[in-house]
Structure 1
Amino acid sequence: MLDFKILKEKAPRPLKNLIKRGLACLNWDPWLSVSWSQEGEDIVLRRFFGDKKNGFYVDIGAHHPKRFSNTFYFYRRGWSGINIDAMPGSMRLFNKYRPRDLNLELGVAGKQGELDYYVFNEKALNGFFCELSRSRNDADSPYRIEKVVRVRVVPLKDILGQYAKDKKIDFMNVDVEGLDLDVLQSNDWSRFRPKMVLAEVLGKSLVELEKDPLAQFMRRQGYSIFAKQVNTVFFLDDSEPRGT
């Protein structure tokens, strides 16, 4: 009889992941919560939005239609939105698996133009932030910069003005490897006000977070900290009810 646990120990990593998922199905627990997010962000969002259907999201630095996705759970529930990622070729998978969404292959920055985009062997680390990218390219790190390409960038307010001017945004997710504040600063907050904004703030405790420039910026826009995962911070529009 085939022992899946022994096979899992000896198998290469992709096969290990497949076996792990298979074993989880065999031992299915009705109380299990399924998440596609890296830190369970979609579970937090579910708690806030409940059974809401036909919602609208904006995902900046979307990376992949399913992997580490804070929006895929909602897509499966009938929501739709805008996925934005600067990685050349990234929207092929989005167009395949997320055809109901608008999928844009470009970067977001303070003004229109082109910027250097650092492409890693781990695509989740791709980004425009030179210092952060080079620090991750350290000799002791498993991650490597494979190439640097020039990528078109557009302010967020221009993108939303073109594609979401008549939309009420339920939540906006920003994950652009160190430049989340730059992206948020490029929005017109008087016109485009998601109920919830998710942004990445690396290495900050709850106490330190209040003094972080990104958190202070969001407070000036009328948003308060609602929740925090390891690196992802949830900001809620002050005009929205806090729920139960």
Structure 2
Amino acid sequence: MPESLNVSIYEDIEKLGLKAPDIAVPHTPSYGQCAEDIIVCASLRALAFKEQLDLSKEFYLEIGANHPIATSATWLLHKSLGMHGVLVEANPHLLDDLKRVRPHDNILHAAVIATDASTTPIFISSKDELSSTNKKFLAEWPGEPIVLEEDIVVPALRINDVIIKHMDGKSPLFLSIDVEGEDLTILNDLDLTRFRPAIIQIEPSDHFLENNSRDICDLMQRNTYDLIARTNVNLIFTDSARSPVSREIVADLHATKEALGAAEQENQRLLKRFSELNKHALSSS
């Protein structure tokens, strides 16, 4: 099959009556919803060049995999960079195609949630891309009407457990979260003092959660991630803490988190002791 041309360029050239370029401009493959995978792919290549990484030995984690190719956040990364990883999908009707087309990846049937429950309901939409653990997300979808076809109970996992149990505790180089309305909840549950993907892509769904993009950006900024791209659908962040100076900041954040945890435990111990002494004083009076 001959290499296809960049349709956008040649359509505008014809529309404006311009001469075609002497050197043909080929089409650049993209499978992401708004070509986010091209941005991510280029960013990973830059990172690999800077840090001397072999990307074929690096991993991605895609939460809310859906279709194996269409709107996939990771298909281009596998095809172009040789990466592989873990794809998490809650809708059981989509698993066969994922396993058939993506045998190089570990396909997990689960919904990622932010509690320790072993199962959770999922609401299956008439449009596969819009199924969600949040029923309200389907009901308030602003586009073409969708139908709730079924609600079922599926296995549930927390994001940190996915990394620990299915990625040997090694942080993925790239993380994509696309779970229709619950994305920030999942991101909040990720222990960024322990697991730090170099690049994180997340869908804010501002139509459903007003100012969610701002809330996500605030969270990422507090954890030393920089916003590098914003498409019509997704936000893309890079870890600024990969520099030596920033690594010290992350280490300080981790130490602070541990200190706060210890202080909270001591505070609870003192409150309990105070309550015991107070009861004893009252009973003696």
- What range describes the TM-score normalised by the shorter chain of this pair? 0.7 to 0.9
- Residue 10 of structure 1 corresponds to none
Q: How does 1:113-192 map to 2 (within 5 A)?
A: 113=117, 114-136=119-141, 141-192=144-195
- Contact 1:86–1:107 under 8 Å retained in 2: yes
Q: Which amino acid aligns with 1:106?
A: A
**Pair 1:156–1:135, CA change in 2 (3 A):** same
- Work out the percentage of aligned pairs sharing the same amino acid: 24
Q: How does 1:196-211 map to 2 (within 5 A)?
A: 196-203=199-206
Residue-by-residue CA offset, 1:62-91 (whole Å, 9 max, x unaligned): 111101101001111311010001101322
Give the CA deviation at 1:45. Answer: 1.0
1:47 aligns with 2:24: no
Residue-by-residue CA offset, 1:126-150 (whole Å, 9 max, x unaligned): 11112211113x8x83321111111
Structure 1 residue runs without a partner (length 5+) = 1-21
Residue of structure 2 aligned with 1:34, choices 24, 29, 35: 29
Separation (CA, whole Å) in 2 of partners of 1:125 and 1:166: 30
Separation (CA, whole Å) in 2 of partners of 1:219 and 1:26: 39
- Max Rg structure: 2
Give the CA deviation at 1:203. Answer: 3.7
Give the CA deviation at 1:25. Answer: 4.5
Q: Which amino acid aligns with 1:48?
A: S
Structure 2 residue runs without a partner (length 5+) = 8-23, 49-54, 244-285
Residue-by-residue CA offset, 1:26-50 (whole Å, 9 max, x unaligned): 8885432110111101111122122
Give the CA deviation at 1:100. Answer: 1.1
Separation (CA, whole Å) in 1 of partners of 2:6 and 2:201: 33
Separation (CA, whole Å) in 2 of partners of 1:213 and 1:26: 40
Higher strand share: 1
- Contact 2:206–2:212 under 8 Å retained in 1: no
Higher helix share: 2
- Contact 1:203–1:231 under 8 Å retained in 2: no
Give the CA deviation at 1:56. Answer: 1.3
Give the CA deviation at 1:125. Answer: 0.4
Give the CA deviation at 1:155. Answer: 0.9
Q: How does 1:40-119 map to 2 (within 5 A)?
A: 40-50=35-45, 52=48, 53-54=55-56, 55-77=58-80, 78-113=82-117, 114-119=119-124
- Residue 215 of structure 1 corresponds to 217
- Where 1:76 maps in the other structure, the secondary structure is helix
After TM superposition, the score normalised by the length of structure 2 is 0.68
- Where 1:48 maps in the other structure, the secondary structure is helix
Q: Which moved more, 1:122-131 or 1:157-166?
A: 157-166
Residue-by-residue CA offset, 1:113-134 (whole Å, 9 max, x unaligned): 2322111111000111122111
- Contact 2:6–2:26 under 8 Å retained in 1: no
Structure number with higher relative contact order (C-alpha < 8 Å, ≥ 6 residues apart): 1
- Where 2:71 maps in the other structure, the secondary structure is coil
**Pair 1:222–1:197, CA change in 2 (3 A):** same
Separation (CA, whole Å) in 1 of partners of 2:238 and 2:6: 37
- Contact 2:78–2:84 under 8 Å retained in 1: yes
**Matched residue count:** 214
Aligned residues: CA RMSD: 2.6
